[in-house]
Chains A and B, each alone.
Chain A
Amino acid sequence: MITVDKLNAGYGRLHILFDVDIEVREKSITVVVGPNGSGKSTLLRSIFGLTKIYSGSIKYNGEEITGLAPHQVARRGVAYLPQTDNVFANLTVRENLMMACYTLDKKTSEERMERVLDFFPMLRGFMNRKSGTLSGGERQMVAMAMALLREPKVMMFDEPTGNLSPKLAMEVLGKIRELRDKLGITILLVEQNAKKALELGDHCYLLVSGRVAFEGHPKSLLSHAELSKLYLGV
């Protein structure tokens, strides 16, 4: 569904990703793990047109999307939960959710809003608060809700459980599994909690210093004694 081919990307002259090949298959969960600073977030940003791409191509359903503006990628049905700055701090929670529904009509937005608020009932109490005044975890919930509201074909999550309590983190990972199983959404997941994420995944990549160091089934990465000891801490 998303095919990244020989991607070289970075920020300005700072080259971060080197010849990265990634294949995200339809209705599956693809997990990307790797040490801090290895380029996981940069990979997701590149798919969304938020980095400088030097060479290589990114295809979505066979269509070339390299160099498209972010809103054009979004409108093709890709949602993305960034790792940081993932809510509009100066807007209220309600306005944030409203922005997540930017491309939807009023009726659809209201229906989806109800559904998402049922999943995160805590948010109901915050609707008129500025997102910048929320706690880290509360903010993460708003960001997650914003991604879910879009009901896309593909969802990219950059550490969706960051800042969440262990209980809520498990719920969120469960929800991600549900998205695949019940709604048939294709998922690209970056997760620090490698073991939990790999248990969930259908396919995985290990990114080290901007290069793909391993590709295959999560089980085989977990059973790879050297790699899992070096990079996964399991």
Chain B
Amino acid sequence: MVVVFPPIVREAIIFSSLLTLLSTGLTLTYMTSRVPNFAHGSFATIGTYVSLVAFRLFSLSPYQFIPVAFVLAGVVSFILYKAILRPLARKGASTILLMIATIAYDMLLIAALNITADFLSRNYKVTSRYFSLKSADIRIENIPMVFYAAPLVTAIVIVALYLLLTRTKFGVAMRAAIENPSLAGVVGINVDLVYSVSWFLAGGLAGVAGLLMALWFIGNPDLGTILLISIFTASIVGGLMNIYGAFLGGFLVGFAEVLGTANLARAVGVWIVPYRPVIPLLILVITLLTIPGGISSIKFERFIGRVRKGGF
């Protein structure tokens, strides 16, 4: 039996999967260094341009360039940590200052992405702004492969992260360094290495998300910046300190955003579509007002207990 999803559900699945990859990374870096990273969206845009280069310049499938996007965005993220955030933190910089440093880094990245876009259009006559790479995707029974690839990659990443964090010594050390960096150092864990790996992984996952995003959404140097609200909302809904929370948050926000916008457009008219970011913003506000600790802070055991007792 073949289940046929309406196109809008298909879009919601792709968007939510990729958003989950992004929010998981954001949460990971927040957990390790307690810095809200405003450059995270642009790490994804790097992947988007890797897609463009792969297809237009090398005439290869963007899927073949997944490792390139992963490493490139990972390195850019690692540099932010190692060359900027860590030296500042060692000098005693506050969280606010570090956050502003990530905004500055984001500006640099956006500038670099714009330069890349100009370079591609001038020298190679490639449409490098508001471009679509839907034609670059492989079709399986007339369904674009990204519809399968996005959730599959996300599922693999989540399972791999889970195994890493619970079954490997390095992963347990990551959790140890997140909880108590001083004690982690005392038992011989190289905390700086653990944090560096987290930043690299987070950037890499964002790069992969951005690469896949190019196969469905319109690519532009500010793609990641626009996504930033959704990424932060997904992470905060998930609780910011819980990777699996970020996963839930990604799906919740992704579906609400795509289906909400589509239904609103049908109800009140297409003029509403550009206001799409209002949906994640609203979710963000409601979360912060009602469950500031996010989904992962809810004590479900207590909730179930109360329901059983019948008294609410």
Contact A91 B182 (CB under 8 A): no
Cβ proximity bits A131-163 to B, threshold 8 Å, 1 near / 0 not: 000000000000000100010000000000000
- Tell me whether A99 and B173 are in contact in the complex, defined as CB-CB below 8 angstroms, given that A69-B192, A88-B180 are known contacts: yes
* CB of A196 closer than 8 Å to a CB of B: no
Contact B183 A82 (CB under 8 A): yes
Cβ proximity bits A74-97 to B, threshold 8 Å, 1 near / 0 not: 110001101001111111000100
Q: Please pick, from B92, B169, B175, the residue contacting A102 in the complex, using a CB distance under 8 A.
A: B169
Overall SS of chain A's interface: loop
In the complex, A47→B169 CA distance in Å?
A: 27
* CB of B184 closer than 8 Å to a CB of A: yes
Contact A71 B188 (CB under 8 A): yes
- Tell me whether A99 and B190 are in contact in the complex, defined as CB-CB below 8 angstroms, given that A71-B185, A88-B179 are known contacts: no
Give the interface size bracket for B toward A. Answer: 10 to 19
Give the interface size bracket for A toward B. Answer: 20 to 34
Contact B92 A12 (CB under 8 A): yes
Contact B175 A48 (CB under 8 A): no
* CB of A103 closer than 8 Å to a CB of B: yes
In the complex, what residue of chain A is closest to B181 when comparing beta carbons?
A70
Contact A88 B192 (CB under 8 A): no
* CB of A50 closer than 8 Å to a CB of B: yes
Contact A98 B169 (CB under 8 A): yes
In the complex, what residue of chain B is closest to A106 when comparing beta carbons?
B169
* CB of A100 closer than 8 Å to a CB of B: yes
Contact A75 B188 (CB under 8 A): yes
Cβ proximity bits A10-37 to B, threshold 8 Å, 1 near / 0 not: 0010000000000000000000000000
Cβ proximity bits B167-194 to A, threshold 8 Å, 1 near / 0 not: 0010011011001101111111111100
Smallest CB–CB gap between A38 and chain B, Å?
21
In the complex, what residue of chain B is closest to A50 when comparing beta carbons?
B182
Contact A102 B189 (CB under 8 A): yes
In the complex, A48→B186 CA distance in Å?
A: 7
Smallest CB–CB gap between A160 and chain B, Å?
14
Overall SS of chain B's interface: helix
- Tell me whether A146 and B187 are in contact in the complex, defined as CB-CB below 8 angstroms, given that A50-B182, A88-B179 are known contacts: yes
In the complex, what residue of chain B is closest to A90 when comparing beta carbons?
B179
In the complex, A71→B189 CA distance in Å?
A: 6
- Write out the residue numbers on chain B whose beta carbons fall within 8 Å of the beta carbon of A48: 185-186
Q: Please pick, from B92, B173, B183, the residue contacting A86 in the complex, using a CB distance under 8 A.
A: B183
- Write out the residue numbers on chain B whose beta carbons fall within 8 Å of the beta carbon of A86: 183
In the complex, what residue of chain A is closest to B191 when comparing beta carbons?
A71
Contact A69 B185 (CB under 8 A): yes
Contact B179 A150 (CB under 8 A): no
In chain B, positions 137-192 with a C-beta closer than 8 Å to chain A are: 169, 172-173, 175-176, 179-180, 182-192
- Tell me whether A88 and B183 are in contact in the complex, defined as CB-CB below 8 angstroms, given that A12-B92, A98-B169, A102-B173 are known contacts: yes
Contact A74 B185 (CB under 8 A): yes
Contact B186 A74 (CB under 8 A): yes
- Write out the residue numbers on chain B whose beta carbons fall within 8 Å of the beta carbon of A150: 187-188
- Write out the residue numbers on chain A whose beta carbons fall within 8 Å of the beta carbon of B173: 99, 102
Residues of B near any A CB (own CB < 8 A): 92, 169, 172-173, 175-176, 179-180, 182-192
Residues of A near any B CB (own CB < 8 A): 12, 48-50, 69-71, 74-75, 79-80, 82, 85-91, 95, 98-100, 102-103, 146, 150
Minimum-distance CB pairs A-B, first 4: A70-B185, A74-B188, A103-B188, A71-B190
13 new A-B contacts, CB < 8 A, other than A85-B180, A91-B175, are: A12-B92, A69-B185, A71-B189, A71-B191, A87-B183, A88-B179, A89-B179, A98-B172, A99-B172, A99-B173, A102-B187, A150-B187, A150-B188
**14 A-B pairs (CB sep. < 8 Å):** A48-B186, A50-B182, A69-B190, A70-B185, A70-B186, A71-B189, A71-B191, A85-B180, A88-B175, A91-B176, A95-B172, A95-B176, A99-B189, A103-B188
